Amino acid sequence: MPPRTRIAAIALAAAAALTLAACSGGTGSSSSSGSDGYVTKGKLTIATSQPAYAPWVEDNKPQSGKGFEAAVAYAVADKLGFSKSDVVWVRDDFDKSIAPGPKDFDLNLQQFSITDERKKAVDFSSPYYTTSQVVITTATSKAADATSLADLKDDLIGAMTGTTSYSDAVADIAPTQQVQVFNSNDDAVTALKAGQVDAIVVDLPTGFYVTSAELDDGKITGQLPAVKGDTGDQFGIVLPKDSALTKKVSAAVDALRADGTLASLEKKWLNSQGNAPILK
């Protein structure tokens, strides 16, 4: 995703909070520190990225409820007792969202992988999606005919810095050349198009989107294998550290999993894993 500035995110979040205060006559807080855990009384403030891409958010319009994460957000809101009109969307930078400090959102969905390190700074809900990492390349790349991890070892692999994609590329492929790091998946895709890397590693839904919409000759080489019972990369909703809402949000996610809603939304908005064989 293209770089998103800290200043723009803060300004937009602040503008949203001020607008809500003016409309409701309330006094919105700049962080989720109220006794009820909400930034703005009577509203559920949800953050996502700027821009937000399909299949997570369609047409960069989370308020439409179209796209997997937008749909999940509204399903969780419903479980918490909020109508669609009571959901307020703000935009926030990925790294800033999971850094220590006060937040201008109640919930944040940006494909955040749940990790112990991140839990030191923020809370996570139960996972709403579990994915794997995939290798994608182009028809003209030297990696185009790879069918195994061994076939990729001498190729130049790229991934977004600070992501599970990067760490899995290093651990699973163990290439002979250092994995190239990029500030965003968009930068990695650009490098792949230019032939600066032979293949890149992204999460599975992003892989399907990139190969179908951004690369004329893109192809998914395959999934990286799960390690020692690992069921995949788990995405969780981010909340401010020690939020009063964390248990409620986790309960909502668990209920959506139990009643089949998450599976239904995944089927609707995300591609099947059947087209990505596991690399061995």
Domains in the chain with CATH codes = 6-130+233-275 (3.40.190.10), 133-223 (3.40.190.10)
Instruction: Report the C-alpha gap between 187 and 202 in whole angstroms.
Output: 12
pLDDT digits (tens, 9 = 90+) for 160-184: 998 889 999 999 999 999 999 999 9
In DSSP terms, which residues pair with 158 in a beta bridge?
Answer: 180, 200
Eight-class DSSP state of 226: P
Instruction: Report the C-alpha gap between 114 and 130 in whole angstroms.
Output: 10
Whether residue 16 has pLDDT greater than 70: no
Instruction: Report the C-alpha gap between 235 and 24 in whole angstroms.
Output: 33
| Reported confidence tier of residue 228, pLDDT bands at 50, 70, 90 | low
pLDDT digits (tens, 9 = 90+) for 200-216: 999 888 898 899 889 99
pLDDT digits (tens, 9 = 90+) for 36-72: 779 999 999 999 999 998 889 999 999 999 999 999 9
13, 91 contact by CB (below 8 A):
yes
pLDDT digits (tens, 9 = 90+) for 83-92: 999 999 999 9
What rounded mean pLDDT belongs to the chain? 86
pLDDT digits (tens, 9 = 90+) for 119-174: 999 999 999 998 889 999 999 999 999 999 999 999 999 999 988 899 999 999 99
DSSP alpha helices (H): ranges in 39-184? Answer: 68-79, 94-97, 116-119, 149-152, 164-168
In DSSP terms, which residues pair with 41 in a beta bridge?
Answer: none
Which helix (H) or strand (E) is 185 found in, with range?
helix 185-193
* Number of alpha carbons in the 13 Å side-chain half-sphere of residue 159: 22
* Phi, psi angle pair for 195, to nearest 5°: 80, 15
Nearest CA to 171 among 245, 226, 93? 226
The share of the chain scoring above pLDDT 70, in percent, equals 83
